[in-house]
Structure 1
Amino acid sequence: MDNPLSTNPMLPKPRAREEIHQAVISLIGKLNLAKGSKVLDVPMGPGALSVILFQNGYQVFGVDIDLAQSESVQSYVIRKKADLNNSIPFEDEFFDLVVSLEGIEHLENPFQFIREISRVLRQGGYFILSTPNICNLEERLNYLLRGSFYRFISPNEFKEKGSGFDHQNLMTWVEMKQILEWNGLKPLFLEKDKIKWRQILFLWPLGLLIWLYGRLQPATRRKKYCMDDNESFPVMFGGSSLISVSKKLFMNEI
């Protein structure tokens, strides 16, 4: 799948980092979706991914609470306004693929968001989700030192800037996986946005310690805490974002 982010100055400037777009575009290409498949970009932000998806032959739809930022996107991308804490304005099982880049962590109600994603996605369809990776080694060490994955947002700041302006719901992979599976979305694999080399250079002893600890745990405990995933390279040594690819199960698979 073509990636014109760096070569097409006419594209809207992506809100998410370019390396996230590059990784997601590559993943979409591996899904072998038929031309003309219906794809939802949610939240669509300025619309860079929507334009790329259209240029690669898909029917593209975008949803965001702020459509002003995607005004430059031409009418071939069907845009709809919606508060993603509530409902997504499409009928059941409408899409073949739903892509959500760096959005779920800004929502007050991520559970409702994933329920709606599952509702509008057809059985056998795919869901690609990217969100900050708070399970990599750097973030685990930060949590150990400061006792928090993110800063405190005061009531005054929340009142002034409104819901969604910053990270309100950062999630571990265990939390993301359970939300997905509760809603019939089976995670297939995880991907990173990039490699953080300083984690490999400076934190590999911590990674080795975590891996050795995991090897000593019984299989039931490893499954309970998703240790196989949490010890994987994309999670421990991946970049700032974790990208999951899930498939909506058919009714006879649930």
Structure 2
Amino acid sequence: MNDPNSLAIRDGVSKRIVDLFPDKHARIADLGCGEGELLVRLKELGFDSLTGVGWKVQVPPQVSRVEEIDLSQAGWADRLGGATFDVLTATEVLEHLVNPYEFLTQARRLTKPGGRLILTFPNVHNLRSIIGYAVAGRFSGFFGPNWNTNHPLHDQHIFVPNHELVGYFLKLVGFEVVSIDYLLGRGKLFGTTALFDCRAV
């Protein structure tokens, strides 16, 4: 993980969790955790109740994992056996899903009342995306040149995470948006990535 955006996401999300739980006592699940960079960072920071969830996942030693989970399918939360968490994270996941509403529904099932869901996804409201849409008819980073080169679906950005639509989905499933921040650039017009901090109600 050397690219600036990935580092900004890892550091921004881990800082948010430390701010929420300075005593490091939180049960955390990283949804779509991939190679486990965020879990590694959280473990380094002293969190010890960590779970990685996804199709194929890599996690640091002594971190539990739940694999072969298709995060777009109905009922995937059942695979976690009724577990609930203080914090769920999903970094750069939402834009890859064919059914983001179902994903958020299942995430709410896994979140304790008052617990947090921390989402990051490409900020399609920044100037680069707005110009890309005006010039090419698509948001920057969505349905791009790699779309027809036999990349698997999970490699594609297929859901355009408009902030109002994401906020509406979150409200429908039982989350309130506590804050929206932007990573790797200042504010909505220049930030590369949006970070939504949501509370389960």
Flag the structure with higher strand content. Answer: 2
Counterparts in 2 of 1:58-73, with a 5 A limit?
A: 58-67=48-57, 70=58, 73=60
Partner of 1:107: 97
| Separation of aligned partners in 2, 1:174 and 1:80 | 31
**Percent of aligned positions with the same letter in both sequences?**
23
Candidates 64, 67, 90, aligned match of 1:78? 64
Q: Is the 8 A contact 2:178 2:198 kept in 1?
A: yes
Q: Is the 8 A contact 1:38 1:96 kept in 2?
A: yes
Change (3 A) 1:170 1:243: same
Partner amino acid for 1:90?
L
Q: Give the secondary-structure state (helix, strand or coil) at the position aligned to 1:143.
A: helix
Does 2:143 match 1:151? Answer: yes
Partner of 1:125: 115
Candidates 161, 164, 170, aligned match of 2:154? 164
| Separation of aligned partners in 2, 1:186 and 1:151 | 30
Q: What TM-score results when the alignment is normalised by the length of structure 2?
A: 0.86
Change (3 A) 1:121 1:92: farther
Q: Is the 8 A contact 1:40 1:95 kept in 2?
A: yes
Q: Is the 8 A contact 1:14 1:47 kept in 2?
A: no
Partner of 1:247: 199
Listed as ranges, the gaps of 5+ residues in structure 2 are: none
Q: Give the secondary-structure state (helix, strand or coil) at the position aligned to 2:115.
A: strand
Partner of 2:34: 45
Q: Would you say how many aligned residue pairs link Structure 1 and Structure 2? A: 193
| Separation of aligned partners in 1, 2:135 and 2:113 | 43
| Separation of aligned partners in 2, 1:147 and 1:156 | 17
Q: 1:151: Cα distance to partner? A: 2.7
Change (3 A) 1:34 1:96: farther
Q: Is the 8 A contact 2:18 2:24 kept in 1?
A: no
| Separation of aligned partners in 1, 2:15 and 2:156 | 27
Partner amino acid for 1:37?
A
Structure number with greater Rg is: 1
Listed as ranges, the gaps of 5+ residues in structure 1 are: 1-12, 197-233, 250-254
Q: Is the 8 A contact 1:118 1:183 kept in 2?
A: yes
Does 2:172 match 1:237? Answer: no
Q: Give the secondary-structure state (helix, strand or coil) at the position aligned to 2:158.
A: coil
Partner amino acid for 1:79?
R
Partner amino acid for 2:127?
L
| Separation of aligned partners in 2, 1:164 and 1:152 | 14
Deviations 1:154-182 (A, max 9, x none): 9864xx43321111112110111111111
| Separation of aligned partners in 1, 2:148 and 2:21 | 47
| Separation of aligned partners in 1, 2:18 and 2:89 | 13
The Cα RMSD (Å) is: 2.2
Q: 1:236: Cα distance to partner? A: 2.1
Change (3 A) 1:147 1:63: same
Q: Is the 8 A contact 1:190 1:242 kept in 2?
A: yes
Partner amino acid for 1:236?
L
Deviations 1:227-254 (A, max 9, x none): xxxxxxx32232x1100100001xxxxx
